[in-house]
A and B are shown apart, each in its own frame.
Chain A
Amino acid sequence: MSTLLTQTLCKSFGSLAVTQEVTLSFQSGMRYAIIGPNGAGKTTFFNLLAGNLQPDSGQILLDGRDITSLDVTSRARIGIARSFQRNNLFAEMTVHDNIAMACAIQDNVAPVFWRPMRGFSSVHKKAELIAQQVGLEDDRQTAVRHLSYGSQRQLEVALALACKPKVLLLDEPTSGMSPQETARMDHLIKALPRELTVIVIEHDMDIVLEFADQIVVLDYGRVLVQGTPAEIKNSAIVRQRYLGEEGVAVGSQAAERPAP
């Protein structure tokens, strides 16, 4: 059970303020969605949470502990795992080897140089379960480069899950996916274990409204509004900015999805 907090987090690239005084609290076991137009600073916010970037000011706390100065590796080790907006895999390995690698690192098996990898049955067992969880059980022996784009997105999530996370950050898990693949990912995300805190960046408003307990709208690096799906749907400012003045089709955000 863990709570992730950010306090007046700020990050600028040169004169471009990409994260501006973001103070948010992510309660354990809850589902959060971060939405906002491209360039709003959503990925940058994830980079700050996961330690890929250092904030210019502000703090990040996990269960009350200040983790701002920890690097990516240390944060992954204390339970903050992420997937990437652009597939970021071990390209020459099979699906199984990708997941098993992540499991071996998490289980501190990776430094072993005196016994072959194939002997670590617990690692392989875990990798099999995760492949099953993300729906890649039939592709376990497929090399990443022979995998369809959608399956690569699933593997992206699998690698994050292999980190035994407390807080799972998913950066546009359905981006570029076909409708069927999106449905599968939607299912996967909804089936994630309840004890996990999940934060997704997602453009598909149908998924977001159904999945999230809380929605955070980022705009030019600032938190524009935050609230339950119902509150967000009825928020005047969100309707005006994102859903069009009339507030019609909720799914109109789909226009922002990058082409597959």
Chain B
Amino acid sequence: MVMTRNSLRLSIGVAAAILALIMQLSAGTFAQELFAEAAILAVFALSLDLLARSGLVSFGHAGFLGLGAYTFGGLAVLQNWPPSLAIAAALAGGIISGLIIGCFAVRTSGAFFIMVTLAVAEMFFSWVFRSPLFNGADGMGGVPRLDMRSVGLDLNNPRNFATFCILICICVWMFAEYIIITPFGRTLDAIRQNANRVSAVGGRVFSYRLAAFALSGAIGALSGALKAQHTNFLSPDLATWVVSGDVLIAVVIGGMGTFVGGIIGSGLLVYLKEVLSSNFGHWYLFLGGIFIGVALILPRGIVGSVLDWRDRRHARNNPAPAREDEA
């Protein structure tokens, strides 16, 4: 069967989604926590990867996750907002903070962008770490979950919550896939490939990157709101650079810019963390070793390498007029 690069990528995504749902629905109670955690990390990874389409790699994405978690938890616990409204507020918070931070952050790129995003996330961390409003370093408990009993789903049941998170992840994935086939998404691709040429043909690189940053912020905040619901707890640790690093690892290992790669990378990261930490003392050492190994063998990540392999095979089987399907 002839599959274009893009349809292979989408097929991997559909297969991963179906497999995740089957595995989750048939898994035991304890594993439900891992499925929820992986799905939430995958939403976060999608947020990072969507921004990466515009050529910007953030190292402070935990700032958005933390902001979403604290906006959701703060409003739901301290202001007694219904969780559904609090989620909407978290999304809005992600967009607004993305627009404000983006105004100066997306004027930079490369290492400078990494530094700026890291610095802003650390500022957020040190603020919540000290803030008496959210119990500072001790964190704050009692964060409720979304009430979906009206549609017959009690999210306080771990199994239901895990299914819910996987479904949210699938929705966000489809949203991201849709965005990249629109003119806006294609322009982000063009900017990643050659920002100077986009300017030269009259495109405002800054505006597109700002919009991508705000969109990414909204999705990052959504993952934070889910995270706070999952643990029922707000902790400054949500916004540390370790969280930014983990999601970056998940995306790079899976294949940056492929979306589905970040999702698979998230599942892998959560699974390996669980297996290694319950068997070894210095488990982060092993984890690091594994990821360095993967990065060396598959420099374009798991999915990226599969797609490249398909391209090479395709080129071998169809020499001469090297035709191309959309990336």
Residue numbers of A with Cβ under 8 A of B are 50, 52, 71-73, 76-77, 81-82, 84, 88-94, 97, 101-102, 104-106, 109-118, 120, 123, 141-143, 146, 159, 162-163
Contact = CB atoms under 8 A, between A and B. Distances in A.
Contact of A101 (B181, B190, B211, B326): B190
B200 A143 contact: no
Contact of B322 (A101, A114, A146): A146
Given A73-B199, A117-B185, 16 more contacts: A52-B200, A76-B201, A76-B202, A77-B202, A84-B200, A88-B200, A90-B193, A93-B327, A101-B186, A101-B198, A105-B198, A110-B208, A112-B182, A112-B183, A117-B186, A159-B197
B179 interface: yes
Contacts of B149: none
Interface residues of B, number: 32
Contact of B203 (A73, A84, A92, A123): A73
A149 to B, nearest CB: 15
Counting from the closest, the 9 A-B pairs by CB-CB distance are A143-B324, A76-B202, A113-B184, A146-B322, A102-B201, A105-B203, A110-B187, A77-B202, A112-B183
B201 A81 contact: yes
A102 B190 CA distance: 10
Nearest to B321: A142
A97 B193 CA distance: 13
B219 to A, nearest CB: 14
B326 A73 contact: no
A38 B309 CA distance: 43
Nearest to A102: B201
Contacts of A102: 201
Interface of B: 178-179, 181-187, 189-190, 193-194, 196-205, 207-208, 211, 321-324, 326-327
B312 to A, nearest CB: 13
A47 to B, nearest CB: 11
A72 B200 contact: yes
Contacts of B190: 90, 93, 101
Contacts of A111: 183-184, 187, 207-208, 211
A117 B194 contact: no
A165 B183 CA distance: 22
Contact of B186 (A84, A97, A141): A97
25 contacts: A52-B200, A76-B201, A77-B202, A82-B200, A90-B190, A93-B190, A94-B326, A104-B183, A110-B183, A111-B183, A111-B184, A111-B187, A112-B182, A112-B183, A113-B182, A113-B183, A113-B211, A115-B182, A116-B178, A118-B181, A142-B321, A143-B322, A143-B324, A146-B324, A159-B201
A106 B202 contact: yes
A147 to B, nearest CB: 9
B183 A109 contact: yes
B194 A90 contact: yes
B10 to A, nearest CB: 14
Nearest to B215: A113
A110 B203 contact: yes
A146 B320 CA distance: 10
A136 to B, nearest CB: 14
Contacts of B194: 88-91
B175 to A, nearest CB: 10
Contacts of B202: 73, 76-77, 105-106, 163
A104 B187 contact: yes
A235 B322 CA distance: 49
B201 A106 contact: yes
A84 B194 CA distance: 13
Given A73-B204, A90-B197, A118-B181, A104 B324 contact: no
A118 B178 CA distance: 12
Contacts of B182: 112-117
A76 B199 contact: yes
Contacts of B211: 111, 113
B179 A113 contact: yes
Contacts of B187: 101, 104-105, 110-111
Contacts of A109: 183
Contacts of B326: 94, 97
Nearest to A159: B201
Contacts of B193: 90-93
B181 to A, nearest CB: 5
Contacts of B200: 50, 52, 72, 76, 81-82, 84, 88, 159
